[in-house]
Structure 1
Amino acid sequence: MGSIKKLAGQTIWYGLPTITARFLGFILQLFFTSIFSPDEFGVITQVYAAIPFLNILFTYGLETSYFRFVQLTDKTKLYNTLCISLFVSTTVLTVLIIAGARPLADFLEISGREDYVVYMAWIIFFDTLATLPFARLRQEGRPRKYALVKVLTIITQILFTIFFLIICPKFAGNPLFSWYNASFGVGYILIANMLGSFFALVFLYREVTAFRWLFDKQLWNDVMRYSMPLVIVGFGGMINEMLSRLVYTKVSTLPAEEKLTELGIFGANYKLAMLITIFIQAFRMGAEPFFFNQSKNEDSRFTYARVMKFFTIASGAVFLVVALFLDVWKVLITRKDPVYAEGLNIVPILTMGTVFLGIYYNLSIWYKLTNRNMTGAYITLAGAAITILLNIWWIPYFGYTGSAWATFICYAFMMMVSYLLGQKYYPVPYDAKRVLFFLLLASGIYIVHHYIRSLQPGIWTVHACGLVGLGIYMAVTGWMERGDFRRLLLRKP
């Protein structure tokens, strides 16, 4: 249990800044919905849907590879080699994107806004160069600086956003602000993001300048063989997460203006579902290096099984916090336009789907430890195929609700297949029956609460029932796992 408590500590240290950054970013998105209409928000949703795909291409799995190879070779040599590789490839790809800004803008259906594509390219450029410095901080166990830089970066972005969207319009007639163009609108979101990403490199100055121009070709070849399948995994994951918003306007049969309005509603409600993504991301930040380090221990597989159980319990609780209190979250996204609330029905679907994705992340350790990354790539590609086919099929008929169910089914498929293959190639004694029970318990509580909510008993009654449902879940899971919780708190094995 001591190792699991260590993971909990790492999740707090490395995850807290991620939670803070993602939560502040989430608040920032809510601010956008309060000043931009759904069709305007739809434009920026299109741009941000493309960024994660490009991030995968730019980083090509080097972060995970760094954690893997740092245990097998000289750390300084590895850092130098990977930093050089990343700098050269990032520079080339950024130039190509800027040169192709016009066709990219046409593909994203924001023709005439090539400047948006250019700012997007610079955002990715700065973010990519910060990847390995951040990984180095995690690997060296320097959580304080990691936290400080992450939080300072998002705060910097927020300050620039406030400056461009609130302060500048108030001084539009001042000669000092003659450069400000109010019609640029959502474009200032990209500029603020770009500046925040640039300052992240400034805050990471020592780590950025720590590498030397010493390149080990053989080591680079070994890393590339391990990393390339992770690129496929990354692309597949981004397809599953982002493709629905990226192709929504291309698949929907609605008139052009209605497409963007629905996309804006979809994007805003997707942000609510991402509340649980914040928790999962925090867990992954601590879990990835932890899992690799634990692989050397004889009882590592039992540790993975216990981690899975605790993760599922925690994920179920977060799911209920999101799903049982939709009326609270509705207030956050409807400040500008009540039409955003029309998409609340997809939030529980996407949230439970994301729980499945988190379980899949736990399960995926089997192919990373057995060097079967291509198998992981095949699983992800199969999930991506499901996402593509179901979105093309369902969006014209069911709109964003169909897209939400496509995401749910995709992640459920990936979770089950990874579990079955993992038990074949790297058996871990997961308590599958209890994991399934916890998921069904959380789902059942939500279904009962949804029925009560449909009776419209009053807002306070709905919230009271939500608290009762959450309390029941915590009581049942706490009682069933009272032995492990007691050992965890007392640091017993």
Structure 2
Amino acid sequence: MNVLKTFLKDTVIYGLAIVLPRLINFLLVRLHTDVLPNEDYSENTEFYVVAAFFNVILTYGMETSFFRFFSRNKDKNKVLSTAMITIVLSTLFFGILLFLFRIPISETLRINTDFYTLLVGITLIDTLIVIPFAYLRVTGRPIRFALIKLINVLIIVALNVLLLSKSFGLKGLKNVFNVNNDVEYIFIANLIASAVVLILVSPYFFKTKFQFDTSILKQLLNYGWPIMVAGLAFVINENLDKWLLPELEGEFINGAYSACYKLAVFMTLFIQAFRMGAEPFFFNHADKENAQQTYATILKYFTIVGAIGLMIVVVYIDLLRPIFIKKESYLLALDIVPIVLLANLCLGIYHNLSIWYKLTDRTRFGMYISLIGAAITIAFNLIFIPKIGFMASAYATLMAYGLMMLISYLLGRKYYPVPYDISRIGIYLIISAGLSFITYYYFDRDILLGTVFLLLYLALIVFLERKELKLLLKRS
């Protein structure tokens, strides 16, 4: 129980470091959808889809590799220095290539040339700060980590409000940037905020004397490249829909789809907060007694919290939605929200289950699983978007993440058996999804009935977990 208490503490601290800034940033959805027409919001989404691909390629799995080898290597300074030097040199190299070939690349990616320059700048800076942030996490410095993250998002929010909000007549400031489209202000704000963060973490580039060990580099790359491929597959699973919809359904539809997709952010934030605390914890406690039982308990309660979150968002979506999206033109894709929420919960369970291939150094399996998910995403979107429109993209996401979750569990039983309580996890997942879908689609988002379902669901959890919950509360 003490181990679980430590895990919960780390998750809460790192969770706040991720959730609070991103929740603040999420509030910009209302500003963006109020100010920008659907077509411009679609363009904003496509910009960050490309940025996600660039980020995965430029970091090539180094963050997770760094966690793995920093935790178990005696000469930690050498691991830090080798990872830092490698990332800096590779970022400079790729940055030169991206700028030299900016015209053909921007045309291929359907990105305005001016936007592309900002995109490359943001991506390069975000790549450079990966190892300093990983170092803060792995050495247990959550307060500093959280403070820098908060500064980053506050700058983004402040600049967005100043430049986009009609309440501020900042013509002089706007003239400095000389832009032709309001959406460009969003990218400029991001670039400035990233540059400030780079300055704040720059001392960590000199935390240790420069040492470069080729054997450590080889280990980092061998461990990391399958993670990079898996990361690319994940970006496909998460973003291909927002790349295909403008071509197949139009920018207007993609703008609405992308905005409504953001309403699943509550599940996404929960998963990201969990991963921030879980990844270092899983690696650092792999050699502890009863580690597998600890992992099993964590997954069960992760599923419980995620399933409750799913129901809360679905039941009260008509109360939450106006806070973030008011303009009617964006609401035509609202029906994707329950499906995307469930898909993201499956993804969160998959991240829990994936510890087996990370701890046994079988990261290639993670790559294979992600590629299977990407293949489903590509095929389903291409086949069914022309037939049933944007709903096909939501179903594709659910199918991909659901299958990835199942495959990871089955393989994990063979290579790193963990005594997961599958019956309880299955019950919680199925009942939560069933009640949510019935409330939304069959009873047309009836809040009163949905509240009754939610209370009954909570009562079921308390009844089934009463002994363990009493023990946890007593220990706390």
* TM-score bucket (shorter structure): over 0.9
Given residue 41 of structure 1, which amino acid in structure 2 is its aligned partner?
Y
Match of 2:348 in 1: 358
User: How many Å separate the matches in 1 of 2:182 and 2:90?
Assistant: 32
Equivalences, count: 475
Quick check: 1:17–1:148 contact (8 Å CA) kept in 2?
A: yes
User: How many Å separate the matches in 2 of 1:247 and 1:132?
Assistant: 33
Quick check: 1:330–1:344 contact (8 Å CA) kept in 2?
A: no
User: How many Å separate the matches in 1 of 2:341 and 2:428?
Assistant: 15
**Can you list the C-alpha shifts for 1:346-403, whole angstroms capped at 9, x where unaligned?**
0000110110000000000001111111111111111110110001011111221000
Quick check: 2:71–2:138 contact (8 Å CA) kept in 1?
A: no
Match of 1:97 in 2: 98
Given residue 408 of structure 2, which amino acid in structure 1 is its aligned partner?
S
- Taking only the aligned residue pairs, the percentage that are identical comes to 36
**Can you list the C-alpha shifts for 1:117-159, whole angstroms capped at 9, x where unaligned?**
1101111111111111111111111111111111111001111
Match of 1:19 in 2: 19
Superposed structure 1 runs of 4+ greater than 4 Å apart: none
What secondary structure sits across from 2:27 in the alignment? helix
User: How many Å separate the matches in 1 of 2:358 and 2:174?
Assistant: 53
Match of 1:389 in 2: 379
Match of 2:283 in 1: 292
Match of 1:120 in 2: 119
Question: More displaced, 160-169 or 32-41?
Answer: 160-169
Is 1:434 paired with 2:424? yes
User: How many Å separate the matches in 2 of 1:178 and 1:125?
Assistant: 26
User: How many Å separate the matches in 2 of 1:225 and 1:177?
Assistant: 47
1:168/1:31 CA distance change after superposition, 3 Å: closer
1:275/1:107 CA distance change after superposition, 3 Å: farther
Is 1:247 paired with 2:244? yes
1:59/1:182 CA distance change after superposition, 3 Å: closer
Match of 1:197 in 2: 194
**Can you list the C-alpha shifts for 1:24-64, whole angstroms capped at 9, x where unaligned?**
12111221111001011111111111111111111111111
Structure 1 residue 208: Cα displacement: 3.2
Equivalent positions of 1:206-217 (< 5 A) are 206-217=203-214
Match of 2:216 in 1: 219
Structure 1 residue 423: Cα displacement: 0.3
Equivalent positions of 1:278-289 (< 5 A) are 278-289=269-280
Match of 1:58 in 2: 58
User: How many Å separate the matches in 1 of 2:206 and 2:288?
Assistant: 35
**Can you list the C-alpha shifts for 1:290-349, whole angstroms capped at 9, x where unaligned?**
1112210131111111011000000001111211122123313443x3021111100000
User: How many Å separate the matches in 2 of 1:77 and 1:479?
Assistant: 51
Within the candidate set 439, 443, 448, 1:464 is matched to 448
User: How many Å separate the matches in 1 of 2:179 and 2:224?
Assistant: 44
User: How many Å separate the matches in 1 of 2:102 and 2:244?
Assistant: 18
Equivalent positions of 1:96-175 (< 5 A) are 96-110=97-111, 113-166=112-165, 170-172=169-171
Structure 1 residue 180: Cα displacement: 4.7
Quick check: 2:310–2:436 contact (8 Å CA) kept in 1?
A: no
1:231/1:178 CA distance change after superposition, 3 Å: closer
Given residue 162 of structure 1, which amino acid in structure 2 is its aligned partner?
V
Quick check: 1:97–1:118 contact (8 Å CA) kept in 2?
A: no
What secondary structure sits across from 1:274 in the alignment? helix
User: How many Å separate the matches in 1 of 2:6 and 2:396?
Assistant: 36
Q: Normalised by the size of structure 2, how large is the TM-score?
A: 0.96
User: How many Å separate the matches in 2 of 1:116 and 1:182?
Assistant: 10
Equivalent positions of 1:301-316 (< 5 A) are 301-316=292-307
Given residue 365 of structure 2, which amino acid in structure 1 is its aligned partner?
T
1:170/1:187 CA distance change after superposition, 3 Å: same
* 5+ residue gaps, structure 1: 457-461
1:177/1:109 CA distance change after superposition, 3 Å: closer
Q: What CA RMSD, in Å, does the superposition of the two structures yield over aligned residues?
A: 1.8
1:188/1:452 CA distance change after superposition, 3 Å: same
Match of 1:235 in 2: 232
Match of 1:398 in 2: 388
User: How many Å separate the matches in 2 of 1:37 and 1:452?
Assistant: 32
Is 1:475 paired with 2:459? yes
Match of 2:415 in 1: 425
What secondary structure sits across from 1:13 in the alignment? helix
User: How many Å separate the matches in 2 of 1:357 and 1:365?
Assistant: 13
User: How many Å separate the matches in 2 of 1:118 and 1:92?
Assistant: 16
Quick check: 1:359–1:415 contact (8 Å CA) kept in 2?
A: yes
Structure 1 residue 218: Cα displacement: 1.2
* 5+ residue gaps, structure 2: none
User: How many Å separate the matches in 1 of 2:216 and 2:343?
Assistant: 38
Structure 1 residue 196: Cα displacement: 0.7
Quick check: 1:108–1:246 contact (8 Å CA) kept in 2?
A: no
User: How many Å separate the matches in 2 of 1:287 and 1:153?
Assistant: 23
Match of 1:459 in 2: none
Question: More displaced, 90-99 or 405-414?
Answer: 90-99
Quick check: 1:330–1:341 contact (8 Å CA) kept in 2?
A: no
Structure 1 residue 211: Cα displacement: 4.2
User: How many Å separate the matches in 2 of 1:405 and 1:421?
Assistant: 24
User: How many Å separate the matches in 1 of 2:205 and 2:189?
Assistant: 22
Q: Normalised by the size of structure 1, how large is the TM-score?
A: 0.93
Within the candidate set 344, 354, 373, 2:334 is matched to 344
